[in-house]
A and B are shown apart, each in its own frame.
Chain A
Amino acid sequence: MTEITSLSLFELIKNIKEKKISSNEAAKSFVDRSEKSKKLNTYVTENFENCLKLSKEFDNKPNFDLKLPGIPIAVKDLFCTNEVRTTAGSNILNNFVPSYESTVTQNIWNEGGILLGKLNCDEFAMGSSNETSFFGNVQNPIAKNLVPGGSSGGSSSALAANLTPVTIGTDTGGSIRQPASFTGTVGLKPTYGSCSRYGIVAFASSLDQAGPMSKDVKDSSILLEVISSFDKKDSTSIDFKRNNYSSELTRNIKGIKIGIPKEYRVDGMPGEIENLWKKGIEYAKDCGAEIIDISLPHTSYALPTYYIVAPAEASSNLARYDGVKYGLRSSGESLIHMYEKTRSEGFGEEVKRRIMIGTYVLSSGYYDAYYLKAQKVRQLIKKDFDDAYNKVDAILTPSTPSSAFKIGEKSNDPVSMYLNDIFTVPVNLAGLPGISIPAGRDKNNYPLGLQIIGKPFDEQTVLNIAYSMEEKINYKNNITDWWME
């Protein structure tokens, strides 16, 4: 029999329900493997002992009607977890233990999930390589000294290394899809308003969205079904009819119209990305989809727009980390001095850079030229998609303009780092659902992903297309466990 840790979530649930594997056996397997995988640096806070205890409790009193019966799950350290330290990858929250639970994680525990630990991420989710984390780099299990992507880098790495059956990340500009693409895994960013933001450490409120990360599309559909819910505690949560994503999942996408946006052929895009995209189009056709060329004319403005809107919101969202109420406090001679020292010591370079950008674009005299303009462009980008969706049901693009890069390769070049998000950012600006699925490999054998973007609230179509293409692509990660002694 295959190792427990390499089972898909679906298979694991099936085995547990059929009593072939106990929750405690599953927990032990993931804890053991996680213990042996410290070199990957995926965990910020382990919850192993508690997880083993809770899994035993589950086995003593099992409830197989639950959607995640006794399943151990590690989550990104941006979700506040009751009585378990939550750092957001930052020194300023190094000692922060919430007394409350995020809605998304609560949904998981309500369905029988058990917290395995808190996974590393870029500081306040600001980064594309997990290198901005106060808790250090995360290794991509694909190859040594390769970044796992970011900001949900700990999540993608832990998932690809089989340290957790599935995980959840957050995606503000690509933070689920890009790391999924870099690790040969599946990552879905739902429609803005699908998953509650309550209890998630905020980066950019109008863009942040939690979503599932998994080894295959079916697992994402199972997890999305659990985490997506209307929540009165989040005023931007939307009360729409949610599908039973996993049971409605189908490979029948015959006649579905898929748009190919010409503006995504960006200058300097490696040939292998171009080829991957072409192959993807062929796969989609093989699945019965109709391919239609479309135009999203404002695509080139998406990245600059994003790098105004996101830092602006972040500069305000991060103002609460001032040393007064919780988290790090450095001593100072006056209130202002205390603020300065706390925030200087508490925040890393990338976070400070974005706070400064955000403060600048909101300043009087610059607001109209930057923030207001960016908001207008954001509307145009959204309209591009609205127009396209008059003609097509979904859009197919590459997930990233390149494969995973080496640790340190881009850490001193923020603009080159920001370019990683060029294909994912427009989706956040427009509030749309988007999935990245593994679709091939580059010359180094590093995974490459394709992105499927859907209409608002139409996660089902996105999942169905991905599910269908996944079968044709038939991608399998080749993990060698190189990091183990």
Chain B
Amino acid sequence: MDGIMSKNNSEYLIERNDNIYEVVIGLEVHAQVTSNSKLFSSSSTKFGAEPNTQVSLVDAAFPGMLPVINEYCVKQAIKTGIGLKAKINNKSVFDRKNYFYADLPQGYQISQYKYPIVGEGNVILDMPEGQKYVGIERLHLEQDAGKSIHDIDPSNTLVDLNRSGVALMEIVSKPDLRSPDEVNAYIKKLRSIMRYLGTCDGNMQEGSLRADVNVSVRIKGSKELGTRCEIKNVNSIKFMQMAIIYEANRQVDLIEEGEEIDQETRLFDTKKNETRSMRSKEDAHDYRYFPDPDLLPLEITDEFIDQLKSEIPELPDDKKKRFIDEFKISPYEATILVSDIDTAKYFEEVVAKMGKNRDMKLAVNWITGELFAVLNNKNIEIAHSPISAKNLAKLINLIKNGTISGKIAKTIFELMMDGDIDPQIIVEEKGLKQQSDPIALEALIDKIINDNREKAIEYKQGKEKLFGFFVGQAMKASGGKANPQLINEILKKKL
């Protein structure tokens, strides 16, 4: 029986005729460096400008124009390398990768080939079954190409060179990933680290993060790598996962049919959900790499690296550890809170604003519960949250000190969204303060018991379910403002 074995963990195995295959995945992620100007020219990198308005003579490869390295981009690459716990190379070299294409003005791409700026490192993934280390092979700097636009003019291809020369970091993983879930976690972790560092905004819609996906399959337990196919330029995590599933199954099918897998470059067709051959190994370009004679080797001193190390902010792994230690929250909660730098910032601000008598449990639940739901629904980034951390902290404190009930808090939360209103003001204006006066509540409960004598008797005879009925009646009578804990206590006493 053919089928995909599904498990509760992130494992991805393919079963065919009693053979169990695992998939081996390596990623080459192209991350656009956050920088105002390009890698070798001073043109702007701003996204979304009119075509060909951010193009210098260097970007358009006019005769006699020469590249000059942008030091800021080099710093960004080194910072990213530090974030990947990788070796920073004191010497790296820019090579020319030669090929002809209309959107490649120089006829070559300047890229680091033999000697990248960053060497081996690793990234930790938090998977349901525990932590997983994914090796980083290297990180190198390179220029992006321009864009060929085929669908505006019916008979011509148009070229936009705004992107030409923009700095990219190519981050190459080792073939350590084993499932679409792990790929998801890996991309998100990389993105998270780079956003913490401010080296790449990770915006996949704008193409700031794309990946070439290398996929091969092998019988589970085998040590040898199968023949791989490279799926070029996939620009969303969902498509990466779909492409991997399609490609892995295609390869397993070929093996089961006794056929060979060709090492080739493939494209993922997002409409048909399939990968297609782009070029085989025989047709592979000969890029004729050689060191760019217009640029000197990049030499970086240890002092320079140390200086950058001192500028590195607390990264997700460390932050997670600190959250668990300092705030006594669960590893699962900590993982969620640190995954995005803005979420972590928000959480920490809430914690700070809650003051001495803080309630972590409430803070975590309100952020990951109510707030996330609202942000998701309205498709808003937490950095632009309609409720500020300060006011959410106030709301939580109002619950904590018994001023309002959790239920009322939800009503107030809804009202706060309309212009980030201080919850204290809402409580006062709408008179939503919780009733915690035991004498008033006793009178209220006495009346309810009196009005429902028969039910009270039934309860005393053992129909315990009716307790909830009395609580409900009491809450209703108080307009939801009664302190539920007190109601419980009084009811138990009276009944």
Q: For the complex, is B364 an interface residue (Cβ under 8 Å from A)?
A: no
B283 smallest CB distance to A (angstroms): 14
Judge if B362 is at the interface, Cβ distance under 8 Å: no
Using known A-B contacts A102-B64, A202-B64, determine if residue A236 contacts B100 with beta carbons closer than 8 Å.
no
Contact B102 A335 (CB under 8 A): yes
Chain A, interface residues (CB within 8 Å), range: 35 or more
**Which of B66-74, B124-132, B433-441 interfaces with chain A?**
B66-74
Q: How far does the alpha carbon of A99 sit from the alpha carbon of B57 in the complex, in Å?
A: 9
- Among candidates B106, B290, B295, residue contacting A312 with C-beta atoms closer than 8 Å: B290
* Contacts of A86-127 to chain B: CB distance below 8 A: 86, 88, 93, 96, 98-100, 102
Q: Check B68 against A235 for contact (C-beta < 8 Å).
A: yes
- B residues touching A (Cβ–Cβ < 8 Å)? 57, 60-69, 96, 98, 100-102, 105-108, 157, 159, 286, 288-290, 293-296
Are A320 and B290 also in contact (CB < 8 A) when A232-B68, A235-B68 are? no
Contacts of B288 in A (CB 8 A): 315-316, 359, 362-364, 367
Determine the distance from Cα of A313 to Cα of B105 in the docked complex, in whole angstroms.
Answer: 16
Q: Give chain A residues whose Cβ lies under 8 Å from the Cβ of B296.
A: 235-236
Interface assignment of A371: CB less than 8 Å from any CB of chain B: yes
Q: Contact check, A320 vs B293: say whether CB atoms are below 8 A apart.
A: no
CB <8 Å contact, A80 and B290:
no
B63→A86 contact, CB < 8 A: yes
For the residues of B in contact with A, the DSSP-based class is loop
Chain B contacts for A204, CB-based, 8 A: 293
The answer for the CA separation of A192 and B36 in the assembled complex, in Å, is 32
CA distance A236 to B295 in the complex (A): 7
Q: What residues of B have a CB within 8 angstroms of the CB of A205 in the complex? A: 293-294
A363 — which chain B residues lie within 8 A by C-beta? 286, 288
Minimum Cβ distance to chain B for residue A227 (Å): 15
B62:A100 contact, CB within 8 angstroms: yes
Q: A389 within 8 Å of B by Cβ?
A: no
Q: Given the interface contacts A206-B293, A312-B290, A364-B286, does A320 sit within 8 Å of B64 by beta carbon?
A: no
Q: Are B107 and A198 in contact (CB under 8 A)?
A: no
B-side contacts of A100, CB under 8 Å:
57, 62
The 28 sampled A-B contact pairs (Cβ below 8 Å) are A80-B62, A80-B64, A86-B63, A98-B63, A99-B57, A100-B57, A100-B62, A102-B64, A198-B65, A201-B64, A202-B64, A205-B294, A232-B68, A235-B66, A235-B67, A236-B294, A315-B288, A316-B96, A316-B98, A319-B107, A320-B107, A322-B100, A335-B101, A336-B100, A363-B288, A364-B286, A367-B290, A371-B290
Q: Are B157 and A335 in contact (CB under 8 A)?
A: yes
In angstroms, Cα B60 to Cα A326, docked, is 10
10 residue pairs, one from A and one from B, having the closest CB atoms = A319-B107, A362-B288, A205-B293, A206-B293, A199-B64, A320-B61, A201-B63, A80-B64, A320-B107, A200-B64
CB <8 Å contact, A198 and B159: no
Main secondary structure of the interface of A (DSSP, over half): loop
Residues of chain B with a CB closer than 8 A to A202's CB: 63-64, 294
Bound Cα distance A188, B62 (Å): 27
Bound Cα distance from A86 to B288, whole angstroms? 29
A198 to chain B minimum Cβ distance, whole angstroms, is 6
Residue in B96, B100, B288, B296 with the greatest tally of chain A CB atoms within 10 Å: B288
A325 interface residue (CB < 8 Å to B)? yes
- Find out whether the CB atom of A198 lies under 8 angstroms from the CB atom of B66: yes
Complex partner residue of A319 from B57, B63, B64, B106, CB under 8 angstroms: B106
Q: Are A324 and B102 interface neighbours, CB within 8 A?
A: yes
Q: A233 and B66: CB pair below 8 A?
A: yes
Q: How far is the CB of A280 from chain B (nearest CB, A)?
A: 34
How many Å from the CB of A402 to the closest CB on chain B?
Answer: 31
Residues of A within 8 A of B107 (CB): 316, 318-320, 322
Cα(A93)–Cα(B65), bound, Å = 15
Central interface residue in B63, B67, B96, B295, by most chain A CB within 10 Å = B63
Assuming the contacts A205-B293, A316-B98, A319-B107, asked whether A233 and B68 have C-beta atoms less than 8 A apart, the reply is yes
